[in-house]
Amino acid sequence: MNNFKAWVLMGLISGLFVLMGSFIGGRSGALLFFLISLAINFFSFFYSDKIAIKMTGSYPVGRHEAPELYEMVERLCRKADMPLPKLYIQPTEQPNAFATGRSPKHAAVAVTEGLLRALSRDELEGVIAHELAHIKNRDVLVGTIAASMAGAITMIADMLTFGAIFGSSDDEEDGGGIGALVMAFLAPIAAMIIQMAISRQREYLADETGARITGNPQGLANALLRIEGLSMRMIPMAVNPAASHMYIANPLSGSSLASLFSTHPPIPERVRRLSEVKY
């Protein structure tokens, strides 16, 4: 059900992108924007991992530098029947983690220095399994495409606003200018809501899949509660907001956004659902 909901939302955000093209240039505009959406998806498919690692300032870690981490990830990968991803560490005290990459064969998992220090072994296993689940379910690719499309819609909305304000008087007389302003205002909001809904659905799915990989839902539940408690006492992580959807918990937790505009489901609800996982 989580997969179905996510792909329906992906269809909606792509449809919104094409609708804006149609609004600007009719059928030819819709076709042009459809081709642009394909180009965005193609770029996201091949370069999402490199972009994510660069945005977060994470550095690669070798087997000799983190033998226990490697042993844990290798064991969980065997249970999940997937190849070993590249491992990175992000130099920040906030306990968090993220996964990136277009497929299980081209993937990476990054954990923060604070996460390695703060969690017990069972809790860390739960977090790693959650990130491996994102890779196994190809959530990273879905989230990156959704974020790219939402960003493109916002950019086009800015163009519409400029055109509506500085367009010809003929456009204004037939309502084109007002229509463009309305579209420019509503489209980015709709895109953002859809993007964040996609992110929340993929988090629920990764929680469930990760719990099945470890066979210990309580380990992940405890990790989420500990991460939330520690993050609330810390300054939000210095991270690009465009990358916030990748993390296991919202790294910008200092902001009080309504649930509709949140990239992550509420921790209590995630813990409740984990208690119902059958494995």
Element (H, E) at 112: strand 106-112
Structure tokens at 79: 């249970």
Q: φ and ψ at 28, to 5 degrees?
A: -65, -35
Structure tokens at 53: 């690692």
Q: Is 131 an active-site residue?
A: yes
d(CA 238, CA 145): 23
Indicate whether this model's pTM tops 0.95: no
Band (250; pLDDT cuts 50, 70, 90): confident
Q: φ and ψ at 101, to 5 degrees?
A: 120, 150
Contact yes or no for 247/98 (Cβ under 8 A): yes
Whether residue 68 is annotated as binding a ligand: the answer is no
pLDDT tens, residue by residue, 194-249: 767 777 888 999 999 999 999 999 999 999 999 988 876 765 676 666 666 678 88
d(CA 200, CA 264): 5
Active-site residue (options: 123, 125, 131, 228): 131
Whether residue 74 is annotated as binding a ligand: the answer is no
d(CA 218, CA 203): 16
Contact yes or no for 56/112 (Cβ under 8 A): no
Whether residue 245 is annotated as binding a ligand: the answer is no
pLDDT tens, residue by residue, 110-163: 999 999 999 999 999 999 999 999 999 888 766 666 666 666 666 666 666 655
